[in-house]
Amino acid sequence: MTSSHRAWAYGDNVNTDVIFPGKYTYKVRDPKDFAAHALEDLDPSFATQARPGDVIVAGRNWGCGSSREQAVTALKYAGVVAIIAASFNGLYFRNCVNNGVLPIVCPGLRDAVATGDIIRIDQAAGEIFVGEARFTYTPPPPGVQAILDAGGLLPMLQARFRG
Amino acid sequence: MTGYTFAEKALARAAGVASARAGDLLDVRPDVIFSHDNTAAIRKTFLQTGAQRILHPERVCITLDHAVPAPTTDHALNHAEIRAWVAEQGIRHFFEVGRGICHQVISEEALVLPGEVIFGSDSHTPHFGWMGAFGMGVGRTEMAALWAVGELWLRVPESMRVTLTGALSPGVTTKDVSLHLIGAHGIDGGEYRSVEFAGDALDALSIDERSVLPNMMAEFGAMSAYMPPNQRVFDYLEAKRQRNYTPLYPDADAEYAEDIHIDIGSLRPVVARPHQPDNVAPAGDLYGEVVQQAFLGTCTNGKYEDLVAAARVLKGRRVSIRTLVIPSSAEALKRAAADGTLSILLEAGATIGTPGCGPCMGNHMGVPAPGEATISSANRNFKGRMGTSDASIYLANPYVVAASAITGRITDPGEFLS
Ligand code: SF4
């Protein structure tokens, strides 16, 4: 099963201060308003033009910097369902999983994709297609996939506490 | 069979399994968990889970530090919500406005101990490597989960070893060692790894000097960092500790993904230029770069010894730009007040702020105007970090910050130290 997505392409070392500026972390408190500031200091067009189902394709070390989870949820509320990077900051990677945003480590993809391109993802097989070109990645281990399937850590806990 | 790294040992212990290897997925039960001004937001998520009581309130530490005293009604409300929650949940380890920055306060209070695991909803939690504890930053949802169920999934990281030999030259500090390492290997040089320090040079370091290295490893992409605890560390913790502990050391034949060696005696004071901590250059090469503000503070370099270092440079001199000194804790401030360090800084023209994070992340007093440059003893200089994205941040050790405060330019402290 593959799904099609429109890509937003960015470079290396995109840090949490540009994904979601620290000055808003205690000011903007409604998650729906996070999206309005997503990537504000890197790409002002993103917040106005992102659509549900979009993905981000980036270089190395996506999400380095702060632990702020808004750097994931701002993108999620903007519609982003997956982030494909050459590598991730570890804390950011876990924040993705815990918020049900699929993080994919796929080093070769960045150079093959430009903003606006359509890519297709086959999560079960660990494959990404850009036109005819095929890229592979390692799907997450079952424990991590279970959190993603639940939609994140919160829904998982809700199932546990609310039964 | 090769031996185990510190990370493998500490996480196996906290997961209650006999042994673990890098790459294993574990459910880890940390000994201590903490949050700061983000506690109210975590509470919201926690309540959404359906849980009502924090499972282990005795393991929870909460410090108000990110915007203290409250600069706006919003922040005051945020603090008020947190106080009510602390009372409701019976959280004993709560630290009010002015006590200091979470990492420093929890260290001073010996609330976590060598060999233990501590998770904080703050990216600089690798800080606790100074005492040989496994510290890792977590997101807010993860902290809510930790409150609710006391454990968290994680993949045991690979480790890299950084061996330090030699002795620091005057005016050079462990900040320079950190920036040198990050500059040489990039801000993702330690990505998803445990950075385990080793080497003779560690023995000479004070507690304040030690804590800079693991703190800065957050800027290296590291998941955690570790320094082998020694007698100095045990003595520091002895007066306040409330339980016994067993320090952990990596096996001599542990396997490391990478081995790096630094002769710290060869280092000079360096500066990370805007807008990344790995954009490192010798301070002496940057004299042409003008700054409008000097900021001495943060969990990295706002400690007592950092104030003393700045005072050595500023004694009998005057700053030429606005100079903000924000001690990382009330303890640091008290010591600096008691021995005259504070007077030297005040005489030189510095302004003193409430112990806490200050303008480090652009949330509190001391933020720069668009177009301005700040020389800062903080850890992170990304665009927009201190508020406006049009400001520049230079990172350096306290001697460089003080010397630059005098000249209004990025300055090697050498000439002020003789
Ligand atoms: S001083 Fe800065 S880096 Fe340290 S905890 Fe506070 S905001 Fe974070």
- Per residue in B17-63, pLDDT tens? 999 999 999 999 999 999 999 999 999 999 999 999 999 999 999 99
| Whole-number pLDDT of residue A143 | 86
Domain covering A2-162, topology? Aconitase; domain 4 (3.20.19)
Q: What is the ipTM of this complex?
A: 0.90
Query: What pLDDT score does A21 carry?
Result: 79
Residues 6+ apart with CB under 8 A from B146: B30, B33, B119, B138, B152
Q: For A139, which DSSP code?
A: P
Residues A122-161 pLDDT 10s: 999 999 999 999 999 999 888 899 999 999 999 999 998 8
pLDDT tens figures, B74-96: 999 999 999 999 999 999 999 99
In this structure, the residue with its CA closest to atom 5 of ligand 1 is: B299
A69 touches chain B (CB under 8 A): yes
For residue B165, give how far its alpha carbon lies from the nearest alpha carbon of chain A (Å): 29
Q: Would you kindly state where each structural domain of chain A is located, as residue ranges?
A: 2-162
Place of tokens 């023209």: B349
* B137 CB within 8 Å of a chain A CB: yes
Query: Residue A32's pLDDT is what?
Result: 74
Q: CATH number of the domain at B272-416, please?
A: 3.30.499.10
Counting beta carbons within 10 angstroms of the beta carbon of residue B169, is it exposed (0 to 12), middle (13 to 18) or buried (19 or more)? middle
Percent of chain B beyond pLDDT 70?
A: 100
The CATH fold assigned to B6-244+256-263 is: Aconitase; domain 3 (3.30.499)
**Higher pLDDT among residues A135 and A29, named by residue:** A135
pTM of the model: 0.94
Q: Mutation target for B interface from A67, A68, A153: give the one with most B CBs within 10 A.
A: A67
Nearest-atom number in ligand 1 for the CA of B36 is 5
- pLDDT band of residue A27 (cuts 50, 70, 90) is confident
Question: Mean pLDDT, to the nearest integer, of A1-19?
Answer: 93
Which residue has the least CA distance to atom 6 on ligand 1? B357
Q: Do A69 and B140 touch (CB under 8 A)?
A: yes
Residues with CB under 6 Å of ligand 1 are B 66, 101, 122, 124, 298-299, 357, 360-361, 378-379
Atom of ligand 1 nearest to the CA of B379: 3
- What average pLDDT does the structure give for chain A? 92
Nearest to B139 among A23, A26, A94 (CB): A94
The arithmetic mean of pLDDT across residues A59-78, rounded, is 92
Report whether A37 contacts A47 (CB < 8 A): yes
The tokens of A134 are what? 């095929």
Percent residues over pLDDT 70 in chain A: 99
Model confidence at B402, pLDDT cuts 50, 70, 90, reads: very high
How many A-B residue pairs are in contact by the CB < 8 A criterion?
134
Chain B residues 242-281 with CB within 8 Å of chain A: 276
Q: Give the whole-angstrom CA distance, residue B359 versus residue B367.
A: 5
Q: Where are the domains of chain B?
A: 6-244+256-263, 272-416
The whole-chain average pLDDT of chain B stands at 97
pLDDT of B262 > 90? The answer is yes
Beta pairing partners, A9: A57
CB spacing of A67 vs B145 below 8 angstroms: no
- Write down the pLDDT at residue A114: 97
